[in-house]
Amino acid sequence: MLYRRLLRYLRNFYVATGLGLLVWMTFFDANDLPTQIRNRWKLYELDQEARFYQEKIKAVQNERREVLGNDQLREKFAREKYLMKKEGEDVFVIVDEHNDPLEK
């Protein structure tokens, strides 16, 4: 009974054409549904990455503003980040083996 009813609707030209177009657009077209889902997911990932880098840029800009404004902070920054030293000084780098992030 249901089969006959569906068959009657599928014999209608407009329903059959619309259904065929829907199947074509969903699975076979260049902009098919799986491609759209992958593109949306990639867009979401790129948005997350962009937000991450924007936050990093803000942090670096704040750090730069602080460091460039103070000679003592500039010297501390150079010593800590770039292991710079004054003439005649020795630099010792102490690595905590228990909290090494590369081991995990």
Side chain identity at 85, as an amino acid letter? K
Whole-structure pTM over 0.75, yes or no? no
- Is the pLDDT higher at 33 or at 41? 41
Per-residue pLDDT for 76 more than 90? no
Confidence of residue 71 (pLDDT cuts 50, 70, 90): confident
Judge whether 59 and 67 are in contact, CB under 8 Å.
no
Whole-angstrom distance, CA of residue 59 vs CA of residue 44: 23
Whole-angstrom distance, CA of residue 85 vs CA of residue 104: 31
DSSP label at residue 12 = S
Q: What is the pLDDT of residues 49-62, one digit of tens each?
A: 999 999 999 999 99
Residue 83's contacts (CB-CB under 8 Å, 6 or more residues apart) are 91, 93
Whole-angstrom distance, CA of residue 30 vs CA of residue 36: 10
- What mean pLDDT is predicted for residues 8-12? 79
